[in-house]
Chains A and B, each alone.
Chain A
Amino acid sequence: MSTEADTGTSRTGTTSSASSVNPDSVRAVARKDFRDSIRSWVFWTLSFLFFMLLVGTTGLLSYFGSDIAAQGQTTEALVGMVQSMTSLIIPLIALVLGWKSIAGERQSGSLKILLSLPHSRKDVLLGKLIGRSAVLSVSLITGFVLAAAVVAALLGSFDVADYVGLLAVSILYGVAYTSLAVSLSSVTRSTTIAGAAMFGIFMLFYAVWNGLLTAFWMLMNLDYIPQNETTAQIALLFNSLSLNSAYQNVLSLVTSMGGFTDQTEMVLEGMFGSVPFYLQDWFSLIILLAWIVIPIGIALFRFDRVDL
């Protein structure tokens, strides 16, 4: 007992502030959350979903896409088609998985169990984010790995870099939506409001963001907004800040697909002198990471200051 108690006190002794982050605590919370939040069938259903998505798309490609195959761009085409579907499916899964993460525990009172133990509120938030992200990421990995053999067999040519690139970027995309879900779940007391917030997030990226952009272009075409370099830059920048655009654009960084054609690049250079930084693929990676870091950062700050 004594040795364990000593390590216990020395561990807490080094972290003088009550609101600090302790990696051991984060790991304990994440592990518990992973075990508690997931029924095993959820995990296998998700893995199977991603598996079927890949295998099904590959099947369609090999059946109808003889032209694509002839050009040797099959993995590239697969990545593009799968991305357009995961772009919708991953947010739905992440928001559903993260929805109740904090609000649910707060409402039921099980948060009291977590916080009666020597975990800081920051530990709990980070542990939750990691736990829920792990559920989604592990099922993505399982689905992708299991599908790899089938995809390679069906496609004939198989570009490992493209395939792994899509998986990696999809995981980041999923973590970003999980970060949004866990963070919003932590700022509300009721699961009902948290659920509404999840719906709001989904609408933000699927309707509001594009709607605003469309409205902006329309007003520009109708001359309510002046058509010049600045306004065009604003619109393009706004577009590239969206989480969903970032997911799409960042693919060109890690896979052979996407990116600008020489023609687009020339147009952009003609317009702005050079390709603006926010249209370059490294910037979309930063945006993707920002959508992970900023929501949880705000939540970490806020969650420390409220009465539970």
Chain B
Amino acid sequence: MPALRVDELTKSYGQTLALDTLSFEVHEGEVFGFLGPNGAGKSTTINVVLDFIRPTAGRVEVLGLDAQAHSREIRSRTGVLPEGYQVYDRLTARQHLEFAIESKGSDDEPEALLERVGLTDAIDRKAGGYSKGMAQRLMLAMALVGEPDLLILDEPSTGLDPNGAREMREIVREENDRGATVFFSSHSMEQVEAVCDRVGILQDGQMVAVDSVEGLRDSIGGGTSLRVTVDRVDDDALQAVRSLPAVSNVAVENRDPPTITAQVDGSKTAVLAELEDHGVEVRDFSTTEASLEDVFQSYTTGAEVTAR
């Protein structure tokens, strides 16, 4: 049974299509990165999952239950860090957590939860005076109440400094080790690649790619980018390089000295050997791996991926 199953989900607001027959699954026990630029429909999807909004067509199942008919039970087994929320100004962190604990009927201790998110110092301060990062930590602590089977984190890194973002990822790993499925939305690949088992990329209300982090890197064919500085450019030599297997996008930058760039999935030395066989002197070379950020960019902007 998948932890989350989105099936042909469509949501339109008048003429605007926010989600267009979106389908994907999140497996039980995995950390799933839900990636897309702002406005792609990530929050709309999460809002349907939590029954904040109703689908125009299609359906969503969470933990094997219909998202609309069994929303209360779903939410009793789910921890949520929503996006675009505001904490209750006049309640302290302790009171926020007491409310969540009472609501979920769990026996957690507010102190222990706030210790985990690093907010112990502010436990009895009113949340109205919190920074965005502190509010985010408080919401994460509320999401952890009752050891949920599913954690839904909508842009959890918002307002966190790099250190806070790292701590947040550690908590995601701990929760995942405990057995929780984590559904983690973000507009930045950097935030998800370190922690996610699989990543789905949403663009204009449609899933344009779902794969493991490695699979995504491979599928884009980015491989390794090779830059070779040579003494001269020879057409025969270029032709020979182009005809090599696992080499693509061979291009020449005409400068002094000229540089040949190519995408290589296999052996780089084969390229260098081919050039030297044609009497071209290799003066220098460097390689770069395509980053996942580039992969993400390529999916969401349509730009071709080339490793830098």
Contacts and interface: CB of A to CB of B under 8 A. Distances in A.
B235 interface: no
Highest count of chain B CB atoms <10 Å: which of A11, A32, A118: A118
Interface string A1-38: 10011011101110111101010110010011001100
Given A8-B146, A32-B99, A116-B82, A18 B91 contact: no
Contact of A4 (B69, B73, B95, B105): B105
Contact of B73 (A12, A36, A39, A113): A12
**A-side interface size class:** 35 or more
B290 interface: no
B87 A18 contact: no
B103 interface: yes
A17 B69 contact: yes
Contacts of A113: 82, 85, 87-88, 139, 142
Interface string B64-93: 000011111101111010101111111100
Contacts of A118: 72-73, 75-76, 103-104
A18 B72 contact: yes
A70 B102 CA distance: 57
Contacts of A85: none
Contacts of B104: 8, 117-118
A110 B88 contact: yes
Contact of A109 (B50, B86, B95): B86
Interface string B120-156: 0000000000000000000100110011000000000
Contacts, number: 109
Highest count of chain B CB atoms <10 Å: which of A7, A9, A18, A22: A18
B82 to A, nearest CB: 4
Nearest to A123: B72
Highest count of chain A CB atoms <10 Å: which of B53, B88, B95, B107: B88
A117 B88 CA distance: 15
B61 interface: no
A1 B106 contact: yes
B305 interface: no
B52 interface: yes
Contact of A36 (B75, B88, B100, B147): B88
Contacts of A263: none
Contacts of A20: 72
A119 interface: yes
A60 interface: no
Contacts of A15: 72
Interface string B95-113: 1000110111111000000
Interface in A119-161: 119-120
Contact of A110 (B85, B102, B106, B147): B85
Interface string B30-74: 000000000000000001001111100000000000001111110
Given A113-B139, A116-B75, A25 B103 contact: yes
Contacts of B86: 108-110
A69 to B, nearest CB: 46
Nearest to A15: B72
A16 B152 CA distance: 23
Contacts of A22: 72
A115 B76 contact: no
Nearest to A104: B86
A78 B122 CA distance: 50
Given A4-B106, A307-B53, A119 B72 contact: yes
Contacts of A117: 75, 99-100, 103-104
Nearest to B79: A116
Given A8-B105, A11-B105, A18 B76 contact: no
Nearest to B103: A117
Contacts of B82: 109, 112-113, 116
A308 interface: yes
A18 B103 contact: no
11 contacts: A5-B146, A8-B76, A12-B73, A13-B73, A17-B69, A18-B69, A24-B105, A28-B102, A36-B90, A39-B90, A118-B103
Interface of A: 1, 4-5, 7-9, 11-13, 15-18, 20, 22, 24-25, 28, 31-32, 35-36, 39, 108-110, 112-113, 115-120, 307-308
Interface of B: 47, 50-54, 68-73, 75-78, 80, 82, 84-91, 95, 99-100, 102-107, 139, 142-143, 146-147
